[in-house]
């Protein structure tokens, strides 16, 4: 889902990226410490996307 979100964002599919990142974050709510960096990156991208106005 992380890669799906990244690809969706790269191709301009904002809603698809939000959906994929949201699902990823829900599954990683209690992630292992080794995944903390990845989760933080996805959370930052997710926050950027939900803060952007719709086109």
Q: Which H, E and C letters describe the chain, residue by residue?
A: CHHHHHHHHHCCCHHHHHHHHHHHHHHCCCCCHHHHHHHHHHHHHHHHHHHCCCC
User: Which residues span the domain enclosing 17?
Assistant: 2-51
* Residue 55 pLDDT > 80: no
12-49 confidence digits (pLDDT tens) = 999 999 999 999 999 999 989 999 999 999 999 999 99
Is-contact 21 1, C-beta < 8 A? yes
Residues ≥6 apart with Cβ < 8 Å to 43: 25
Q: How many domains does the chain have?
A: 1
What pLDDT sits at residue 8?
97
Model confidence at 50, in pLDDT bands (50, 70, 90)?
A: very high
Exposure on the CB side of residue 28, measured as CA atoms within 13 A? 20
């Amino acid at each position: 889902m992380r890669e799906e979100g990244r690809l969706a964002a790269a191709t301009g599919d904002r809603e698809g990226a939000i959906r994929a990142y949201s699902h990823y974050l829900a599954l990683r709510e209690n992630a292992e410490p080794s995944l903390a960096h990845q989760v933080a990156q996805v959370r930052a991208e997710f926050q950027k996307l939900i803060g952007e106005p719709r086109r």
